[in-house]
Structure 1
């Protein structure tokens, strides 16, 4: 039985500017990856330095940070068996010029510019993938893909306290002896007291001003 592994994939600003984001995503899916999550964003200098902290002090670091903050990028959570190794294989050599010589059909050969502006990024290990996914997708909840221990920890820290409060409230009110009514009452309580329930906030400033849309890569 195959195991679904996750990895982080980035489509860097050079490929986004060239309008190749959707094409790269389609090639990823044709190569067997599931696109589990995606978002477009632009890194601040502080966030880029944090993401590439392991390279701080190296000669190429300022140029790397400058490039990664130069425009929007796409962050993706990619899933398939052996995802980390497979995505890195699909990307090809780090230097796009080398990639064109050694692996002309890889992503960096097709869409990269040079050694630094190489179109894509991928995690180099499962541990890096978990850390990098959390960096770009802190809102994602742990699931079975991360193993039973992570799931148990999440349930213990996040679900159990809310469920305990609901059961305590249910015992206090004693709505009915009918099991279905009891479950209905608990369900309504959980809906009303969900800590992740979205709240509508009034927009600041002049509400007549149009919203700024996220940049498209076409």
Structure 2
């Protein structure tokens, strides 16, 4: 016998939290601001319908943006003009292990789950260690916090290869942490990136003056 709770799953907003994504399904996701969990605003197997919904959502919100993705081979992909999978999306449906979520919410710990600019979540904690001189020191340590492969020490983002260095721990005067964070996703780690302001306008690079409009630039060069 059906209960009131069973009928709740007819509500797409509720069902989205529990139902798995299906091959070929289009998802309208929130791309800004990014959250620790993937926010899916709309699901549909019809490309034109999903695209139209995405455009309407962007028109209706001033401080939130949405993008269209397709679920293919167990990952989110950007789509081409035909709605076909074009390139793997930097933003995925990351699954953070529960112990890291709890540590992030604990006000008594010097640790938190941080989102890389590409949306990849990692765990940053203040740890103590001994220097080569035997002195006690503290520094920020970055660990993977996903259900799969959790607890690995990482220096760069496994998703986009951006350096995961906290501004207060960098010992390299030439390393500009703020610059890395403010770069467009497509430009992270690219040697073509320029990022200098001229007359109030940022010149992203000599190839694409205003930057590339998706996450995968064809002229990316590490």
Query: Which TM-score band (shorter chain)?
Result: under 0.3
Q: Find the structure with the greater CA-based Rg.
A: 1
Q: TM-score, normalised to structure 1's length?
A: 0.19
The structure with the greater share of residues assigned to helix is: 1
Question: More relative contact order in 1 or in 2 (CA 8 Å, sep 6+)?
Answer: 1
